[in-house]
Structure 1
Amino acid sequence: MPRREEPTGESGENPGTAPLELEIRDILDLHTFAPKEVPAVVEAYLQAAREKGFTTVRLIHGKGIGVQRERVHAVLRRTPFVEQFQMAPAEAGSWGATIVWFRRQAEEFETERG
């Protein structure tokens, strides 16, 4: 499950050390994460979303100059259970978001068996 480090206030702990659990939905907005967190967050989110039974998810990485988009796409390319991905249609974020389709678990099993 994706986690984000949050300041803990006056507990004496260093700020940024308490994990924040996120609800797993079919959309993840990456704007709330520091750029260096994005690859790990995407990996954890994809696994959690798949375990929750989603077959399609949308990752909102923003439009910008494409750095975050490329980081997200690099994670997607190396994730074995990602069937395909593409930029979202205009009504779902256009080039600021990516739609991801997961392989059906039976297909993945057949691929592994060879």
Structure 2
Amino acid sequence: MGTIASYATEVALPATGTWSNPGRGGAQADIVITAPEDGVPLLFVEIDNCFESAQVLAAQIDKYMRFCQRKVKDVDGKERPMWRTRWWVPDGRTATSRTRRCYSSSTGSVRATPTPSSRSWPS
């Protein structure tokens, strides 16, 4: 999906502050993928190798949500979501025109033989 230039790692997503000087309380995406030509205008990836508790992961998702809801004035003086000042959305699409679910996967305590329910996505 995308090209090597479509990927960035350890990207600060400031809930406060600026892109160059993020404040406290923001998220840091392990991977950011931008591949609108493949139908993925923007994807944040959080990777956990079973070292973080469910509470810590839930707090990180909350930080992503706060970042996505944050609005700032762009160079044209119009207020818009901060993420839109860095990443674009293809013509005819809006931030809410397509919603993806948040899935979690881990490498710990995995069964050697997958069960039918472990092979399917949650509904």
Would you call these one fold, judging by a TM-score over 0.5? no
- Write 1 or 2 for the structure with the bigger share of helix: 1
Higher relative contact order (CA 8 A, sep 6+): 1
Structure number, greater radius of gyration: 2
Please report the TM-score for the alignment, with normalisation by the length of structure 1.
0.29
- TM-score calculated relative to the size of structure 2: 0.27
